[in-house]
Amino acid sequence: MVSDALVIGAGLGGALAAAVLSRAGLKVVVVDRHAAYPPDFRAEQLVGSQADTLRHLGLLEGIVGQTTPMPSATAACHGKVIDATYCDHYGLRYEEMVNAARALSAPTTFITGRVAQIVTGAEAQKVHLADGRVLDTRLVVFAAGPNSGDLLSSLGIERTMLSEHHSLTFGFDVETASRGVFVYYGERTADQMDYLTVFPIGNRMRANLFCYLHPNDPWARSFKHSPKQALLSVMPSLERALGPFEVVGKVQVRPNSIQRAENVRGQAGIVVIGDAYQSSCPAVGTGIGRLLADIEALNRHVSLWLATPGMDADKIEQFYDDPAKRKVDAHALRIAKSRRALCTGTGWGWQAYRAQHYYRRRTLGVILRAIRRERPRLDGTIAGPQHLQLRADAPIRARASGWEAAKRAVMAAITLLTIG
Ligand SMILES: Cc1cc2nc3c(=O)[nH]c(=O)nc-3n(C[C@H](O)[C@H](O)[C@H](O)COP(=O)(O)OP(=O)(O)OC[C@H]3O[C@@H](n4cnc5c(N)ncnc54)[C@H](O)[C@@H]3O)c2cc1C
């Protein structure tokens, strides 16, 4: 069979791409090493615009299932509330999201196997599996994730390291009275912490800690053995904010580097999407948004490509030139770099910028809390009339965006006053 598109890798990017392309009427084949995506420590929340994009693609319900979104998050630092933000947070294990996305991609043909070689050309593509099978397709959609460089290098596509050991992420379960989404920022620059977020997944409370330490840093190693002690050594006022807590079960840790595939232009017959194209820093939570932008861009172009013979490099180039995709890629890199600098920069300039950032957010938080007559509680929930309203459905969400607009206006005013 010659498929219209053959998707290599069914992680979140590949599985969602297959779902979108098959719904657009394409004959899609998916190949992945695993029949079911195994437990993996990756993204564990779908937040705000990510959920909105999935809703727009008609895929959100299928992925989140019965999971109830938390409508807000309370942010705190130095034991005090900074502010509350309103957007949907769905807590889900990565493998749950991926396996749900795979179920949405039916009626694609799913093949379990390891891709060993890809041979591309301006007319047709051949994908060789390790067990000897050969699959023919018009377009290869390469979504084999961040560690798939060898397969690409045989095509002349190299992955460039943009920021090695950029950040480090820890994941663990906690026992706490908190039931909302709670974010706690690092208290001292020297510790190189960004933030801890605590959120529900099912009936458990899960925590992700994002920091900028090297994986071999002694503190990072000590975290695996005595996580609570290590956490309180860098966030001494955390218990004042979150209340008493215990870390339970195994601590997972993932180092993150940022890489991008180069020489993708000029390649006929293959598009590279998701982390295989550009990996992201988990601390800024742009990985899923970026892979969704890739899928939307692909969906905008692919039907036209298939409408005429061949799959030459000029067609493929339209994907990498897609303005919306380029904007999201550039933003993901920019925000990863600036966030790291904001949390770790030690010069006077950075200290002043950090102080301005913190006090601006706190001042704004106090003003908005007074206007909304709400009380973000340190356990991650929010009390007050607005909060009760925000728990209802769509029209109220529109009101939440109204509040976000008001917040931006007040923030602009405070920034002007600060500069003044
Ligand atoms: C710890 C951590 C936390 C994160 N948190 C967030 C977050 O909060 N928000 C956010 O937006 N992003 C987050 N991210 C980033 C996000 O998880 C990734 O951007 C996303 O998972 C990338 O998905 P993908 O489909 O591109 O790759 P993957 O999910 O890695 O999928 C690759 C697939 O390809 C398959 N494969 C590989 N090689 C082959 C082969 N030769 N043959 C066949 N199949 C193959 C694999 O089996 C796998 O199924 C986080 C990442 C990490 C590491």
Tokens coding 378? 């340190």
Q: What residue's CA is closest to ligand 1, atom 27?
A: 145
Can you tell me which atom of ligand 1 is nearest the CA of 12? 25
Those residues with Cβ within 8 angstroms of residue 419's Cβ, 6 or more apart along the chain or in another chain: none
For the chain, the straight-line distance linking the first and the last C-alpha, in angstroms and rounded, comes to 68
20 and 119 together in one domain: yes
Q: Residue 39 Cα, ligand 1 centroid: separation in angstroms?
A: 12
Q: Ligand 1, closest atom to CA 16?
A: 25
- CATH number reported for the structural domain that contains residue 234 in this entry: 3.30.9.100
Ligand 1 centroid, distance to 146 Cα (angstroms): 7
Ligand 1 atom closest to residue 144's alpha carbon, by position in its atom list:
34
* C-beta 322 within 6 A of ligand 1: no
252 and 267 co-located in one domain: no
Dist. CA 364–CA 370, nearest whole Å: 10
Q: What are φ and ψ of residue 120, in 5° steps? A: -110, 160
For residue 73, how far is the Cα from the chain centroid? 17
User: Residue 203: inside a domain, yes or no?
Assistant: yes
pLDDT given for residue 45 in this prediction: 96
Range of the domain at 29: 2-44+92-157+263-341
Which of these three, 257, 282, 314, is where a domain ends? Answer: 257
Looking at the structure, tell me whether residues 232 and 278 fall in a common domain: no
pLDDT, tens digit (0-9, with 9 covering 90-100), for 21-59: 999 999 999 999 999 999 999 999 999 999 999 999 999
Strand blocks (E) in 186-286? 193-201, 204-211, 245-262, 270-272
Ligand 1 centre to CA of 216 (Å) is: 23
Q: Dump pLDDT digits (tens) for 5-15.
A: 999 999 999 99
Q: State the Cα–Cα distance between residues 21 and 302, nearest whole angstrom.
A: 8
Which pLDDT value is given to residue 29?
Answer: 97
Does ligand 1 come within 6 angstroms of the Cβ of 91?
no
Supply the residue whose CA is at minimum distance from atom 1 of ligand 1.
42
What is the pLDDT, as a whole number, of residue 400?
47
Domain boundary among 224, 257, 290: 257
3-state SS class at 141: strand
Ligand 1 neighbour 128 (Cβ under 6 A): no
253 in helix, strand or coil?
A: strand
Atom of ligand 1 nearest to the CA of 10: 49
Q: Is 165 exposed, middle or buried (0-12, 13-18, 19+ CB in 10 A)?
A: middle
- Are 297 and 303 contacting, i.e. CB atoms less than 8 angstroms apart? no
Q: How far is it, in rounded angstroms, from Cα 4 to Cα 306?
A: 7
**Does residue 217 lie within any of the structural domains?**
yes
Domain count across the chain: 2
Confidence at residue 399, expressed as pLDDT on a 0 to 100 scale: 43
| Residue after which a domain boundary falls, among 318, 341, 364 | 341
Q: Indicate whether residue 407 lines ligand 1 (CB < 6 A).
A: no
The rounded Å distance from CA 8 to ligand 1 centre is 13
pTM, 2 dp? 0.89
392 pLDDT band, cuts 50/70/90, is very low
Whole-number pLDDT of residue 394: 30
pLDDT tens column, 262-296: 999 989 999 999 999 999 999 999 999 999 999 99
Q: Are residues 107 and 34 in the same domain?
A: yes
Is 325 found in the same domain as 283? yes
CA of 242 to the centre of ligand 1 (A): 31
The residue whose CA has the least distance to atom 39 of ligand 1 is 144
Average pLDDT, the chain: 89
CB 43 within 8 A of CB 279: no
- What residue's CA is closest to ligand 1, atom 47? 33
Closest CA to 278 of 379, 166, 197, 170: 166
> Coil, strand, or helix at residue 45?
strand
C-beta of 280 in contact with ligand 1 (< 6 A): yes
State pLDDT tens for residues 155-194.
999 999 999 999 999 999 999 988 889 999 999 889 999 9
Q: What percent of the chain has pLDDT over 90?
A: 70
Q: What is the pLDDT of residue 178?
A: 85
The answer to whether residues 209 and 286 belong to one domain is no
pLDDT at residue 388, as a whole number: 33
Going by DSSP bridges, is the β-strand pair 181-185/193-201 parallel, antiparallel, or unpaired? Answer: antiparallel
Q: 194 and 129 in one domain?
A: no
The CATH number covering residue 296 comes to 3.50.50.60
Same domain, 278 and 168: no
Residue 382 placed within a domain: no
Ligand 1 centre to CA of 20 (Å) is 18
- Clarify whether residues 180 and 307 are in a common domain: no
**Which of 131, 153, 154, 288 has most ligand 1 atoms within 8 Å of CB, for mutation?**
288
| Statement to judge: residues 139 and 25 lie in one domain | yes
Q: What is the pLDDT of residue 384?
A: 53
Report which ligand 1 atom has the smallest distance to the Cα of 288. 11
Lowest mean pLDDT among 29-38, 230-239, 323-332, 388-397: 388-397
Query: 31 CB less than 6 Å from ligand 1?
Result: yes
Based on the fold, state whether residues 18 and 142 are members of the same structural domain. yes
Q: Are residues 195 and 314 in the same domain?
A: no
Q: Which two tokens stand for residue 53?
A: 């994009």
What pLDDT, on the 0 to 100 scale, is given for residue 393? 31
Task: Please work out whether the CB of residue 11 comes within 6 Å of at least one atom of ligand 1.
Answer: yes
Mutate to test the pocket of ligand 1, among 16, 45, 275 (most ligand atoms within 8 A of CB): 275
The confidence score (pLDDT) of residue 365 equals 76
299 falls within a domain? yes
Q: Is 291 in the pocket of ligand 1 (CB under 6 A)?
A: yes
